[in-house]
């Protein structure tokens, strides 16, 4: 009886190892290239395939140019909206925020209400 459960366990372990072996090469190609993008603060973020991330402050405008450079040989991506400018106008409404309590810690005077960042 015990040998039957050992055989079943060994067969299950062999099948699991085979499944991992077959799936590993498919998983390997996902992180082959660097990923370059601009975050919401206007910084350039380079997420390397080697595992580290570089953030270059204030250079988000170079994201598309560097993305073209790092994805050489990849299929061309067509964007629906090609405008690169970020404007605060439009149908985006962001009401002011009431900071209660220690507003002096944020550099606000009495009765002053800060506005959130513009729409992106």
Q: What is the pLDDT of residues 59-107, one digit of tens each?
A: 888 888 887 777 655 666 666 665 655 444 556 666 666 666 666 566 6
Q: How many domains does the chain have?
A: 2
pLDDT over 70 (residue 1): no
The reply to whether 50 and 68 lie within a common domain is yes
Q: What is the mean pLDDT of the chain?
A: 71
41 lies in some domain: yes
Q: Does the structure show a pLDDT above 60 at 26?
A: no
Query: Would you say residue 112 lies in a domain?
Result: no
Show the domain range for 22.
Answer: 1-29
- Going by pLDDT thresholds of 50, 70 and 90, the confidence category of residue 40 is confident
Contacts of 97 (CB under 8 A, 6+ apart): 113, 114, 115, 116
In this structure, the answer to whether residues 39 and 21 fall within a common structural domain is no
d(CA 42, CA 59): 7
pLDDT score for 3: 75
Q: Mark whether 46 and 69 lie in a shared domain.
A: yes
Asked if residue 37 belongs to a domain, the reply is: yes
Q: Are residues 25 and 36 in the same domain?
A: no
**pLDDT-derived band at 15, boundaries 50, 70, 90:** confident
50 plus 76 within the same structural domain: yes
């Amino acid at each position: 009886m015990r040998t039957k459960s050992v055989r079943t366990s060994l067969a299950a372990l062999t099948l699991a190892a085979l499944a991992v072996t077959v799936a590993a090469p498919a998983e390997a190609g996902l992180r082959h290239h660097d990923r370059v993008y601009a975050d919401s603060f206007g910084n350039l973020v380079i997420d390397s395939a080697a595992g580290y991330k570089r953030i270059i402050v204030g250079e988000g405008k170079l994201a598309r140019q560097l993305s073209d450079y790092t994805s050489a040989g990849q299929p061309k991506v067509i964007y629906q909206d090609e405008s690169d400018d970020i404007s605060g106008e439009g149908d985006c409404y962001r009401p002011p925020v009431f900071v209660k309590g220690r507003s002096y810690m944020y550099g606000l005077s009495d009765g002053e209400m800060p506005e959130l960042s513009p729409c992106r």
